Amino acid sequence: MDDAEVKKISDLARLAVSENDLPLYRTQLSNIVHFVEKIASAETGGISPMAHPVSSALRMREDCITEGDERERFQSIAPSVEAGFYLVPQVIP
Amino acid sequence: MRDKTLLELSRALAAKEFSCLELTQAYLKQIETRNPILNAFISVTKELALETASAADTRRAKGEALPLLGIPISHKDILCTQGVKTTCGSKILHNFIAPYSATVVKRFEQAGMILLGKTNLDEFAMGSSNENSFYGPVKNPWDMERVPGGSSGGSAVAVAARMTPAATGTDTGGSIRQPAALTNTTGLKPTYGRVSRFGLVAFASSLDQAGPITATAEDAALLMNVMAGFDEKDSTSVDIPVPDYTQDLSKALKGKVIGIPKIFFKDLEPTMALRIEAVISAYQKMGAVVKDIDLPNVSFSVPVYYVIAPAECSSNLARYDGVRFGYRAKAPKDLYDLYTRTRAEGFGPEVKRRIMIGTYVLSSGYYDAYYLKAQKVRQLIRQDFQKAFETVDIILGPTTPTPAFKLGDKIQDPISMYLSDIYTIAVNLAGLPAISIPAGFIGHLPVGVQMIANYFKEDRLLNFAHQYQQVTDWHKKRPKETS
Amino acid sequence: MNKWEPVIGLEVHVQLLTRSKLFSGASTQYGAAPNTQACAVDLGFPGVLPVLNQAAVRMAVKLGVAIGAEINKRSIFARKNYFYPDLPKGYQISQYEHPIVKGGFLEIMFEGESKRIGITRAHLEEDAGKSVHEDFHGSSGIDLNRAGTPLLEIVSEPDLRSAKEAVAYLKALHTLVRYLAICDGNMQEGSFRCDANVSIRREGDKKLGTRTEIKNVNSFRFVEKAIDYEIKRQSEVLESGGVVVQETRLYDSDQNETRPMRGKEEAHDYRYFPDPDLLPLELDEVFIQSVKTSLPELPGDRRKRFMSDYQLKFYDAEFLTESRELADFYEKAVLTAKGEAKLTANWIMGDLSAALNKSNVDITKSLVSPEALGDLVARIVDGTISGKIAKTVFEALWSGEGSVDEIIQKRNLKQVTEPSAIEAILDKVIQDNPKLWQSLKGGEEKLFGFFVGQVMKASRGRADPEQVNKLLKKRL
């Protein structure tokens, strides 16, 4: 993994990485990627991927309203709210 | 009274040997004395505990007979507790008070148990040493220079140092079993889907499972009777009947087949191997039969895990953006700055590494080679276990490759840290239940033996564990209370 | 001069008419105060988990069955990962590789011909919240009420060849989803949203040109204008030797133009992967059959039936089957109108539609019931009132003056047919206009109409015009 790749990944993950930290990340992430590449040698022809340990199917719920207005409670722990809205720096429309 | 098992406490409370309040006070006192040194708790809910303990006394006086009514418990600080801070060991949730409780937490409340506090952990349960906590590392009471294991290190230490009679942990790659092994406690990781994940803050959703950390297998059975069961709020929760886990504890093991995977012993240090072999012979004396088994793909477990767990984590942790709860970077100059700085300042190094690795393995061009491939190897690992369970009742081996290592030893080298979970990780990938119980000491340090059973056979694990604890007293050893 | 052939495909986001959200028990009601309908799951709080709404699945299958598609017995929910303030979890739960509905078609009538438009897929996903940019002194406000609302994204094949044809498809789909009662079709509120993929190629070429995606065009008229603009723009680019850039564009209805979207062009890498919180969605034949049997008569079938059963022309049948409620109204009205299908159709398409338009309401809010309208038609046919008087009765019906017969009676509107009564009126009219009567008698035939008119006027329109004609002629 090179610096550009670390930057691309940190951008996708929205994690600020300073120029100073780049070399450490590059080394550590490269080592980990190298480590996990061992799986390439497993023989997986004809094997279906496993996403869940549970083999049953998805359960569905009835279409009922079970949740009411809890804005006050939920927003009491929010960093920045106004008039019931969560505030963020201006979003470019 | 702090040294009693849950069953003993339950009987003593019923016999009015002491009150719930006295019991709770005793544990709170121990926390006051020991926690400043051990750092096992992030929050201690003293007022709440005393209040609910008094209420429990009143309920007992009125004749309520719930077995665990008035007995204290502590929860890993990744299980949401309404009205009580849930930090996940992270700065990013340093001020997070969940407006709801985890289903597990609710079930213990309904059983009448008293919450003593929230235990320390590696940030978002990512780590094997408890050094990745924003709230400082937890110390191993058996050796203050050593780690207690992780990520449920706080819970394991709280039980080992008798600051709590029992605790909950969560296990994504060994986070219950590994600290249990390193602290001489009993830790059970249930089958995936057996215990609700609702309110368990997700690290890797297809691997996470909550379970008990206790002094004995019997205690673990009592907690499982409360924790286990279907929850309609968790779509991966399995709706099959829950047995009484204490029912089969005393069943004889004669004729039961124990599978020994050669792979777990290949590079094992002789001192460790000796301990595990002693456990095997104890079972043989009880009439169990031993059989060598092959788990050919289990050698891929750690690399498979470090693709799948980071991938899920990178997505699960995207919600920490400083908008609706938790830490928010000061004076962001724009939206991008708000996101990137909140997350860079709020998460610790290991969490960031895993988010980056997860982002990488899912990104365009790499998905097939890493994520999809890992899922296929995961399937192979499950098949290995399924095949083994056609001929054995239980699989046995070490929980960890070594006893507790020193604080700082592995923290600079992520991969060496990852490899400390080499024996526990495959179990999570397959979704199987497993238990770690005390198996003796190497020098002054405890080690654990791990047993793995087929899906939903927690009762068999507890039976095996309990039988071993009937003929040994490793699990009764307590660390000296030095400062 | 080059001849360019447009190739258009539409992606339509249909908001499903469930009570609660796709994965949570919060209400989907439109227009609530900000964040009062966003529960912990919608807000992406730590530790909470999604549980799938069965009604949404049923609605998706309904559409699938209605367009003759294959219903996937096993579909997978995946996470689409990106950061945006209206996306609280940092990912949208959607279906990617394995959608619930695969391959189908919609038959449309365009320029008098029927054409099948292929539908590639339809998948379930959750909607995002909304950002509000005004009134927050430089910040944006986030309202997550809409977050988690179930959407069905319906993706057409690039089978459409003009903006008008695209609109015809869109209208047919709009009609269909309302027939199925899976969407209210309200485009202003965003319940039915459309993205258009547009490319052009030289006529005869097999290869597709580079396409652009026009986002969120939210009325039929704007869809047509935006596509037409884009076709023109692309052909100008190509004719001047340029190349079309693959990009996302926004339609500006004020300027009537499309423009590249700002800020959205950074590399997207959604990192789709199966949602570990949601097991595969498996549907069995019993479930699919139960949806099939609950299916109403579809708009196309109903239109055809109207043409054969009621002998209606295509245009009338299409008009009357535009919504299920309108078609139901019509059929009820015909029943009370004793089978007078054509006249009933005319009344609905004429006076009733005008009245609805004037009050700006749809058929469900009509102040005249289908039975009343049928009665009205019946009274015209049995000669109780004339067609002209019927308009007066209709207006009275609309203002709630009672039943058709009550109004006729109360206002004394019954048609006068007895010769003696008409003769009496005629006598009076002649008496009042002696000079003109003489002129008419003298052969000034254009005055004939004047006398008929006067008789009608004197009878307040009630006289049977045929009788008046006949009796007048007799006097001459």
To test the contact with chain A by mutation, choose from B360, B362, B368, B419 the residue with the greatest count of A C-beta atoms within 10 A, namely: B360
Kindly indicate the confidence band of residue C209, based on its pLDDT and cuts at 50, 70 and 90: very high
Q: Based on the fold, state whether residues B62 and B210 are members of the same structural domain.
A: yes
Q: Scanning the structure block, which residue is given the tokens 């206009």?
A: C433
Size of interface B-C (CB pairs under 8 A): 97
pTM across the whole model: 0.92
Chain B residues with beta carbon closer than 8 angstroms to that of A14: 318, 321, 336, 339-340, 343
To test the contact with chain A by mutation, choose from B321, B357, B425, B428 the residue with the greatest count of A C-beta atoms within 10 A, namely: B357
Q: How much is the pLDDT for C313?
A: 93
Residue B13 belongs to a domain: yes
Query: Which CATH number goes with the domain that contains A9?
Result: 1.10.20
For residue C6, list its beta bridge partners: C200
Q: Based on the fold, state whether residues B224 and B347 are members of the same structural domain.
A: no
Which residues lie below 8 Å from residue C388, measured CB to CB, with a gap of 6+? C461
Question: Is residue A29 within 8 Å of B213, Cβ to Cβ?
Answer: no
Which chains, if any, share at least 3 CB pairs under 8 A with chain A? B, C
Q: Which of C24, C36, C139 is opposite residue A89, by nearest beta carbon? A: C139
Count of the separate structural domains present in chain B: 2
CA angle C162, C163, C166 (to 5 degrees): 90
Q: How much is the pLDDT for C264?
A: 46
Of B148, B227, B206, the C-alpha closest to B479 is B148
Chain B residues with beta carbon closer than 8 angstroms to that of C269: 363-364
- Displacement of CA B383 from its chain's centroid (Å): 25
Provide the 3-class DSSP secondary structure of residue B284. Answer: helix
Question: Is residue C28 within 8 Å of C21, Cβ to Cβ?
Answer: yes
Which chains, if any, share at least 3 CB pairs under 8 A with chain B? A, C
A48 touches chain C (CB under 8 A): no
> Which residue on chain C is closest to A81 by alpha carbon?
C141
Size of interface A-B (CB pairs under 8 A): 159
Residue A16 belongs to a domain: yes
Instruction: Give the domain-ending residue among B356, B376, B396.
Output: B376
Which residues lie below 8 Å from residue A38, measured CB to CB, with a gap of 6+? B300, B303
Which residues lie below 8 Å from residue B363, measured CB to CB, with a gap of 6+? A9, A12, C269, C271
Strands (E), C37-111: 52-53, 70-71, 74-75, 77-81, 91-95, 101-110
Q: Taking the CA of residue C395 as centre, how many other CA atoms within 13 Å lie in the half-sphere pointing to its CB?
A: 6
Q: How much is the pLDDT for C265?
A: 45
Q: Does residue C251 have a pLDDT over 50? A: yes
Cα C155 from Cα C102, distance rounded (Å) = 10
Instruction: Give residue ranges of C with CB < 8 Å to any B CB.
Output: 40, 43-52, 79, 81, 83, 85, 88-91, 142, 269, 271-273, 276-279
CB contact under 8 A, B319 and C88: yes
C282 touches chain A (CB under 8 A): yes
Instruction: Give the domain-ending residue among B352, B376, B400.
Output: B376
Q: How much is the pLDDT for C2?
A: 62
Of C186, B200, C48, C229, the C-alpha closest to B190 is B200
Packing angle of the helix pair C419-432, C465-475 (nearest 10 deg): 60
Query: Which CATH number goes with the domain that contains B449?
Result: 3.90.1300.10
Take residue B382 and report the two structure tokens written for it.
């499950």
Residue A90 belongs to a domain: no
Residue A14 belongs to a domain: yes
Q: How much is the pLDDT for C458?
A: 87
Q: Based on the fold, state whether residues B176 and B29 are members of the same structural domain.
A: yes
Kindly indicate the confidence band of residue C472, based on its pLDDT and cuts at 50, 70 and 90: confident
CA C44 vs CA A30, B467, C48: distances in Å: 32, 45, 7
Q: Based on the fold, state whether residues B188 and B100 are members of the same structural domain.
A: yes
CB contact under 8 A, A74 and B324: yes
Provide the 3-class DSSP secondary structure of residue C104. Answer: strand
Q: Based on the fold, state whether residues B224 and B337 are members of the same structural domain.
A: no
Question: Is residue B144 within 8 Å of B37, Cβ to Cβ?
Answer: yes
Residue B421 belongs to a domain: no
Q: Does residue A93 have a pLDDT over 60? A: no
Question: What domains, with CATH codes, occur in chain C?
Answer: 4-290 (no CATH), 297-410 (no CATH), 419-475 (1.10.10.410)
How crowded is residue B213: how many other Cβ atoms within 10 Å of its Cβ? 34
Of B219, B43, B174, B202, the C-alpha closest to B119 is B43
The domain in which residue B331 lies consists of 301-376
> Which residue on chain A is closest to B428 by alpha carbon?
A53
Strands (E), B86-127: 114-119
Residue B420 belongs to a domain: no
- Listed by number, the residues of chain B in 334-363 with a beta carbon closer than 8 Å to a beta carbon of chain A are 334-341, 343-344, 347, 352-353, 355-357, 359-361, 363
Q: Based on the fold, state whether residues B125 and B180 are members of the same structural domain.
A: yes
CA angle B413, B418, B421 (to 5 degrees): 145
Q: How much is the pLDDT for B263?
A: 92
Cα B243 from Cα B37, distance rounded (Å) = 40
Q: What is the pLDDT along chain B (483 residues), one digit of tens a residue?
A: 899 999 999 999 999 999 999 999 999 999 999 999 999 999 999 999 999 999 999 999 999 989 999 999 999 999 999 999 999 999 999 999 999 999 999 999 999 999 999 999 999 999 999 999 999 999 999 999 999 999 999 999 999 999 999 999 999 999 999 999 999 999 999 999 999 999 999 999 999 999 999 999 999 999 999 999 999 999 999 999 999 999 999 999 999 999 999 999 998 999 999 999 999 999 999 999 999 999 999 999 999 999 999 999 999 999 999 999 999 999 999 999 999 999 999 999 999 999 999 999 999 999 999 999 999 999 999 999 999 999 999 999 999 999 999 999 999 999 999 999 999 999 999 999 999 999 999 999 999 999 999 999 999 999 999 999 999 999 999 999 876
To test the contact with chain C by mutation, choose from B85, B315, B363 the residue with the greatest count of C C-beta atoms within 10 A, namely: B315
Q: Scanning the structure block, which residue is given the tokens 């023109």?
A: C232
Q: Based on the fold, state whether residues B120 and B25 are members of the same structural domain.
A: yes
Provide the 3-class DSSP secondary structure of residue C71. Answer: strand
Q: Based on the fold, state whether residues B13 and B144 are members of the same structural domain.
A: yes
Report pLDDT digits (tens) over C56-105: 999 999 999 999 999 999 999 999 999 999 999 999 999 999 999 999 99
Chain C residues with beta carbon closer than 8 angstroms to that of B232: 51
Report pLDDT digits (tens) over C116-137: 999 999 999 999 999 998 778 8
Whether ipTM exceeds 0.90: yes
No. of H helices and E strands in chain B?
Answer: 15, 11
Report pLDDT digits (tens) over A65-85: 999 999 999 999 999 999 999
Kindly indicate the confidence band of residue A91, based on its pLDDT and cuts at 50, 70 and 90: confident
Provide the 3-class DSSP secondary structure of residue C175. Answer: helix
Strand B72-76, strand B41-44: pairing: unpaired
Of B420, B339, B385, B369, the C-alpha closest to B122 is B420
Instruction: Give residue ranges of B with CB < 8 Å to any C CB.
Output: 79-80, 86, 88, 93, 96, 98-100, 102, 197-202, 204-206, 232-236, 311-312, 314-315, 318-319, 321, 323-325, 335, 339, 359, 362-364, 367, 371
Residue A5 belongs to a domain: yes
Q: How much is the pLDDT for C220?
A: 96
Of B161, B166, B173, B210, the C-alpha closest to B188 is B210
Q: Based on the fold, state whether residues B67 and B205 are members of the same structural domain.
A: yes
Residue B31 belongs to a domain: yes
No. of H helices and E strands in chain A?
Answer: 3, 3
pLDDT averaged over chain C? 93
The domain in which residue A33 lies consists of 1-41
Work out the average pLDDT over C19-48. 98
Q: Scanning the structure block, which residue is given the tokens 């009665």?
A: C375
A67 touches chain C (CB under 8 A): yes
Catalytic residues of B: 76, 151, 175
Count of the separate structural domains present in chain A: 1
Task: Concatenate the DSSP letters of all residues of B213-225 into one string.
Answer: EESSHHHHHHHHH
Strand C248-252, strand C212-217: pairing: parallel
Cα B294 from Cα B9, distance rounded (Å) = 43
Burial class of residue C449 in the structure, from the number of CB atoms within 10 Å of its CB (0-12 exposed, 13-18 middle, 19+ buried): exposed
Residue A35 belongs to a domain: yes
Of B405, B409, B407, B472, the C-alpha closest to B437 is B472
Instruction: Give the domain-ending residue among B332, B353, B376.
Output: B376
Q: Based on the fold, state whether residues B213 and B327 are members of the same structural domain.
A: no
Residue A91 belongs to a domain: no
- Listed by number, the residues of chain B in 272-331 with a beta carbon closer than 8 Å to a beta carbon of chain A are 297, 300, 302-304, 306-307, 314, 318, 321-326, 328
Q: Scanning the structure block, which residue is given the tokens 């045929």?
A: C466
CB contact under 8 A, A65 and C276: no
Q: Based on the fold, state whether residues B229 and B310 are members of the same structural domain.
A: no
